[in-house]
Amino acid sequence: MEYYIHIISDGTGKTAEQIVQAALVQFENIHEEIIIHSEVRSEEQVVAIFDSIFDSKCFVVHTIVSYELRNRIVELGKFYSIRTIDLMGPLLSQISSHLSIEPIGKPGAFHELNREYFQRIDAIEFAIKHDNGLRSEELEKADIVLIGVSRTFKTPLTFYLANLGWLTGNIPLILDFELPDIVNRLSGYKVFALTTNPERLSVLRKTRDDYLKSSTGNYSSLDYVRRELFYANSIFDRHRSWTTIDVTNRSLEEIASLIISKIKNKFVTDLNKS
C-alpha cells in the first residue's frame, strides 16, 4: 500500500523527516512518499498546501511553533478529512508546563541556533590557523585582521572575536621587520592597528618576563618599547584606510566592541550607497 506523507514545517523540515523515517521502519510492506513543505509561516501557505492535497491515502505531519498556525492545520485537516499529526505542539506544551515559561514561538529558531553554533566553530578554527602571523597569505578570507607589536592583546582579541563568530587573524609587528605583502592587498576597513602607551606596555612585558622567568634582552626596556611603537605607528600612518585603536587600559570587551562597531558601520555605509 502506498501512502503520501506531507510534512509541514516552519524551518527546513529535516527534523520532522528524520522522526517520520525512524517511525516508518517499524512498519512492513508499505510504500511511502514524503513531501516536505518548508518555511511555512503564514495561514495562506497552509491553506495552499491543503488545497493541493487530493489523495485520501495521505496524512500531514507538522512541526510548527505558532499556536495559531497549528490550530489552523487541525481545522483544515478536519475540513478535508485528512489526519494531522502534531509533533511540536505537545512537546512545547509539556516543556512549558514543566518550566513555567511560555515558548517564544519563533519559527526556525533551532536552525538559526545551529547555524550560529557552527559559525562560531568555523571562526575559532580560523583563529587557531591564523594566529600570530600563521598562514598570513590566507588573510583575505578574514573578516577582521589585527596588527600590532607584542602584548597589544592581538591573540586574546582574535579568540574573543572568533567566539562571536568573526573570522579573525592577526599579524605581529616587530621592530625593523617588514610586514608580509598580504597587508597591501587587504581591504583597509577590515584591518585594525593596535597601539598603546609605551610605559604601560613596558610594565606588561616586564610582568611577563618575571612570570616566565625568561631573559629576553631589551624586549621590555622602555627605550626599546618606545622605538618599536614609533616604528609601528609609522607603518600605521602609511595605511590611512586602517583603523588605529589605542588599547591602553581598555578591556577586551571594549576593544572588540569598537572593532565590531567599525565593521558594522562600513556595512551600513555600503548598503546606503547601493
191-195/144-148 β-pairing: parallel
Q: Domain check: are 131 and 223 in the same one?
A: yes
48-57, 145-154, 196-205, 231-240: which range is least confident on average? 48-57
Q: Domain check: are 131 and 229 in the same one?
A: yes
Of 107, 126, 142, the residue that ends a domain is 107
Q: Distance between CA atoms of 100 and 204, rounded to whole angstroms?
A: 50
Q: Distance between CA atoms of 191 and 196, rounded to whole angstroms?
A: 17
Q: Domain check: are 45 and 73 in the same one?
A: yes
Mean pLDDT of the chain: 89
Q: Domain check: are 146 and 70 in the same one?
A: no
Res 221 pLDDT > 60? yes
pLDDT given at position 270: 66
Going by C-alpha positions, the residue among 180, 188, 179 that lies closest to residue 242 is: 188
Please provide the distance, in angstroms rounded to a whole number, between the alpha carbons at the two ends of the chain.
56
CATH number for the domain harbouring residue 234: 3.40.50
pLDDT given at position 109: 55
Q: Domain check: are 184 and 159 in the same one?
A: yes
Q: Distance between CA atoms of 187 and 67, rounded to whole angstroms?
A: 47
pLDDT given at position 175: 95
Share of the chain above pLDDT 70, in %: 90
Q: Domain check: are 120 and 44 in the same one?
A: no
pLDDT given at position 80: 86
Q: Domain check: are 267 and 150 in the same one?
A: yes
Res 163 pLDDT > 60? yes
Of 56, 89, 107, the residue that ends a domain is 107
Over the stretch 39-95, which tens digit does the pLDDT of each residue have? 999 999 999 999 998 766 799 999 998 889 999 999 999 888 899 999 988 887 888
Over the stretch 97-120, which tens digit does the pLDDT of each residue have? 777 777 765 665 555 555 677 788
Q: Domain check: are 61 and 172 in the same one?
A: no
Q: Domain check: are 26 and 51 in the same one?
A: yes
Q: Distance between CA atoms of 188 and 178, rounded to whole angstroms?
A: 18
171 burial type by CB count under 10 A (0-12 exposed, 13-18 middle, 19+ buried) = buried
Q: Which domain holds residue 144?
A: 115-273
Task: Summarize the confidence of residues 232-260 as an average pLDDT.
Answer: 96
The dihedrals phi and psi of 211, each to the nearest 5 degrees, come to -65, -40
7-21, 191-205, 214-228, 241-255: which range is least confident on average? 214-228
Q: Domain check: are 130 and 223 in the same one?
A: yes
Going by C-alpha positions, the residue among 142, 160, 143 that lies closest to residue 266 is: 143
CATH number for the domain harbouring residue 69: 3.40.50.2300
Q: Domain check: are 63 and 147 in the same one?
A: no
Q: Domain check: are 78 and 195 in the same one?
A: no
**What is the arrangement of strands in the sheet containing 191-195, beginning at the earlier edge strand?**
168-172, 144-148, 191-195, 243-246
87-101, 208-222, 249-263: which range is least confident on average? 208-222
Q: What is the CA radius of gyration of the chain?
A: 28
Kindly list the distances between the CA atom of residue 69 and the CA atoms of 48, 104, 197, in Å, as whole numbers in the listed order.
13, 14, 60
Q: Distance between CA atoms of 32 and 89, rounded to whole angstroms?
A: 24
Of 88, 107, 126, the residue that ends a domain is 107
Whether residue 200 contacts residue 252, with contact meaning beta carbons closer than 8 Å, is answered with: no
Task: Summarize the confidence of residues 188-195 as an average pLDDT.
Answer: 96
Count of domains for the chain: 2
